[in-house]
Amino acid sequence: MHNDTDSLNVPYDYTSLMHYKTTDFRNGTEPTIVTKDPAFNDVIGQGMNFSDYDLEKLNRLYKCSSSITFMDTCTFEVNNICGMIQGTGDNGDWNCVLHSAAGPSNDHTHLGTCTDSGYYMHFSTSTGNAGEKAVLESRLFYPKGGDQCLEFFYYYNGNENDALNIWIREYTEASPNGTLTFITSIKGNPSEYWQLHHVSLNVKNKFRVVFEGVKGNGPSNGGFAIDDINLSEAVCPHSIWHIRNFMNESLKENGKLFSPPFYSQDGYAYLVQAILNDPADNPYNLRINFHLISGANDDTLQWPCSLKQATMEFMDQNPDIRKRMSNQRSITIDPTQVSSNGVLLWDKPANIGNPTTFPNGTQFFLGPGSGQYFRLDKHHSRDFLKGGDVYILVSLKDISHLNASQPTPIPTNTQPTEVHKECEDYGCKNDGICVLENRTPVCRCKVTKDWWYVGERRKEMTIFAVMLIITLTSVFCLKKKHKKQLASTGKAETTENV
């Protein structure tokens, strides 16, 4: 029995990803996994995602020198502000601050939990003239793939006409100084809290990310703040459900909560519902349902909805995307699936759904939907609840390409092994090979890498020869040893007689 276990010099990890829970395979009520330190009984057995030590061990095991998808993370806690530079053609500035008199009072990284730390970048729109700008450019990035996802948190409490524009400065041989491309803009209703934002990019050449703050018309008592920036080569989530005061207020009324309506990339309308189930002591008491709802594009879409994958992810708000242990569940939309009342589960909501009303009074039809359970107690750990807020990331992707027929493999043309007539009826035992020597069939058996034994009954003759050699060698050695002992004994007796 071999013991090939190697911890790769990584400490024991109670938070390591496991494929089964502490109560799986039990006989009775006692858990099947118990930690030596009782304080970790509720920690071990998590199935959400890789832990920090899991990733460290995998990197050492497979000798990974760098991440394939990770590009950058920034919390502005270091003086170099992550290599960012102020623009030269603007007339305002982004300032790295601990707090602002007009808000926010804390950054998003620590939310005031650490003294003398918690910096963020701030652009004030409370002074100056309309149209004044402040430009902040990132360091250079060198993409490997086609898709990138820019993620950051922002705080916006200025005037509704203020804007935060996102640009890309891309460098090519034709434009060595870079070409600016506008991507998106954040504006609208100011809010007194941090919010998450994703920006989908598709850059082929080296580039910089440009944050441009613009003062709009009208009075302002605040401005823009940005923090906890992450850039990765990945596809951004389609939708963000930001639930404020998740445990204190959101689930109190009837234990249910609806997300705003969202649209998939191909036009399907959907929403997500959070349900707090009883009993309260059941750790798997939070259910997240995915529902198709009636939308503006229903008359032009295929029904029933077919071969989509809905993904719902409780986001771990760790500022470094590499250290997150987000909890994710998926549902595959099967067009033939039938609900409990006998209707197609993913048919047109206007035909099978229940009439429902949004808080703003808008009426819609809610399809039956399907859901997954989450462990609510796990979401009190790490950074799932940050400042009392929760983010659920939702995507609805087309997976019909996975159902397409795969091409039939082309068989390899191999030349048949030539068998001589003399060998057709010549029996070689123990996987021997029949060959012709002087037109006479003989069997060959591979004994070692370079040695073959020849003969019809190779195994028996080989064993006999080996045993004969061992026997003769043993007899010779014993006889020689016996003679030495006799000679030694005779010499000793002669000495004593003298």
Structure confidence at residue 459 (pLDDT): 47
> What distance separates the 2 farthest-apart alpha carbons in the chain?
129
Domain boundary among 181, 211, 236: 236
Say if 256 falls within a structural domain: yes
- Residues 41, 82 within the same domain: no
What does the chain come to in residues? 498
Q: pLDDT below 50 — which residues of the chain? A: 279, 449-454, 456-459, 491-498
Work out how many domains the chain is built from and give that number: 4
Q: 279: cis peptide before it, omega within 30°?
A: yes
How much is the pLDDT for 488? 59
- Are 254 and 230 within one domain? no
Q: How far apart are CA 122 and CA 87, in angstroms?
A: 15
Residues 107 and 247 in one domain: no
What are 324's two structure tokens? 């997150």
**Whether residue 103 sits in one domain with residue 52:** no
Element (H, E) at 487: helix 458-497
In this structure, is residue 490 part of a structural domain? no
User: What is the reported pLDDT for 485?
Assistant: 63
Region class of 128: left (phi > 0), else alpha (psi between -120 and 50), else beta:
left
Asked if residue 335 and residue 389 are part of one domain, the reply reads yes
Q: Tell the residue number behind the tokens 């705080």, with chain if given.
A: 155
Contacts 24+ apart (CB under 8 A), 259-263: 259/392, 259/394, 261/293, 261/295, 261/358, 261/364, 262/238, 262/394, 262/396, 263/295, 263/297
Among 236, 257, 274, residue at a domain's last position: 236
Same domain for 424 and 390, yes or no, is: no
Report the predicted TM-score, pTM, of the whole model to 2 decimal places. Answer: 0.76
Q: How many CB atoms lie within 10 A of CB 125?
A: 28
* Rounded CA separation 250/268 (Å): 26
> What's the pLDDT at 380?
72
- Asked whether residue 407 is assigned to any structural domain, the reply reads no
Phi and psi at 137, nearest 5°, equal -110, 140
Q: Let me know whether 162 and 273 are in one domain.
A: no
State how far the Cα of 185 lies from the Cα of 448, in Å rounded to an integer: 72
Tell whether 184 and 333 lie within a shared domain: no
Does 312 share its domain with 169? no
Q: Are 285 and 266 in contact (CB under 8 A)?
A: no
Is 49 inside any structural domain?
yes
Pair 350, 365: CB distance under 8 Å: yes
- List of residues 6+ apart from 379 with CB closer than 8 A: 286, 314, 327, 385, 390
Task: Determine contact, residues 383/391, Cβ cutoff 8 Å.
Answer: no
- pLDDT value for 414: 59
261 and 227 in a common domain? no
Q: Looking at residue 322, which CATH number applies to its domain?
A: 2.60.210.10
At which of 236, 271, 306 does a domain end?
A: 236
For the record, the structure tokens of 416 come out as 């048949």
Alpha-carbon distance of 14 to 16, in angstroms, equals: 6
Assess if residue 470 is contained within a domain. yes
Are 421 and 412 in contact by the 8 Å Cβ rule? The answer is: no
Residues 338 and 220 in one domain: no
81 domain residue, yes or no: yes
φ, ψ dihedrals at 124, nearest 5°: -90, 135
Q: How many CB atoms lie within 10 A of CB 278?
A: 8
Strands (E), 285-401: 286-292, 308-314, 327-333, 354-357, 363-366, 370-374, 390-398
Residues 448 and 374 in one domain: no
Is 269 a member of any domain?
Answer: yes
Please give the pLDDT value at position 80. 93
Enclosing domain of residue 20: 1-65
Q: Is 365 left (phi over 0), alpha (psi -120 to 50) or beta?
A: beta
